[in-house]
Amino acid sequence: MLELKNICFERDNKKILDNINLKIETDKFIAITGPNGSGKSTLAKIIMGIEKPDSGKIIFNNKDITKMPIDKRAKLGIGFAFQQPVKFKGITVYDLLKIASRKEINKIEACNTLSKVGLCAKEYVDREVNSSLSGGELKRIEIATVALRESKLTIFDEPEAGIDLWSFNNLIDVFENMRNIIKGTTIIISHQEKILNIADKIILMRNGKIEQIGDAKEVLENVEAKKECCRLNRQEK
């Protein structure tokens, strides 16, 4: 469903993505992992259109979307959950969920979606999406907005980043349940073993290149990948 052909992205004379070639199949749960600075987030942003590659092509469901703006990609069926959920002034959780949904939704439906991501819906639906919400709450709301889009492809950029371990442990239930919440293909950038364990396929990146692609077992058994993952886990703790 998604094909990246010879994607290159360079900033300040540094090759952030160095000739990436990748094919992603329909209805798979793909994890991208690798050390910080390996180009994972940039790759995710390039798929969504937030960054544009210097060269290469992005094909989505047989359509060349390389030059397509973000909103058109969203309408084609690509969703994106931000590493740092964006805060607003005056826009409520319900407003955001209404914008996210492709069809009209009422408060009950919005509340149902919030409950699925583990938020006590009544307390949140009318709150503003601002700094009064904690990192963990914002993450859950972010997941709720992308879940409602029912995208063909949903990308999560390091959902564990920026939240404390306690909130993450709670959030992990949501991700374990992800296949019920998110429809279609999921690409999730993560360092967390718990998330990597539930992936159909893991892509290991290093220095802007794909080092290894394989099923979860295969890659996790790769000693280096596992070491990397554990080291990064420790670092984050």
Q: Which residues bind other proteins (CB under 8 A)?
A: 48, 50, 69-71, 74-75, 79-80, 82, 86, 88-92, 95-96, 99-100, 102, 145, 149
Please tell me the distance from the alpha carbon of residue 191 to that of residue 91, in angstroms, as a whole number.
Answer: 32
Q: Write down the least CB distance from residue 5 to other proteins, Å.
A: 23
Smallest distance from other proteins to CB 26, Å: 21
* Residue placing its CB nearer to other proteins in the complex, 92 or 233: 92
Closer CB to other proteins, 80 or 204, in the complex? 80
Please give the sequence-ordered ranges of beta strands (E in DSSP) within the chain, or none if there are none: 2-11, 14-24, 29-33, 55-60, 63-64, 78-81, 153-157, 185-189, 201-206, 209-215
Q: Quick one: which of 150, 155, 139, 142 has its CA closest to 48? A: 155
Instruction: Tell me how far, at minimum, the Cβ of 219 lies from other proteins, in Å.
Output: 28
Residue 77 or 136 having the CB closest to other proteins: 77
Q: Which two tokens stand for residue 129?
A: 């999406």
- By C-beta, is 71 or 223 nearer to other proteins? 71
**Strand pairing category for 201-206 and 185-189:** unpaired
Nearest CA-CA partner of 28 in 149, 140, 174, 155:
155
Q: Provide, rounded to whole angstroms, the least separation between the CB of residue 176 and other proteins.
A: 24
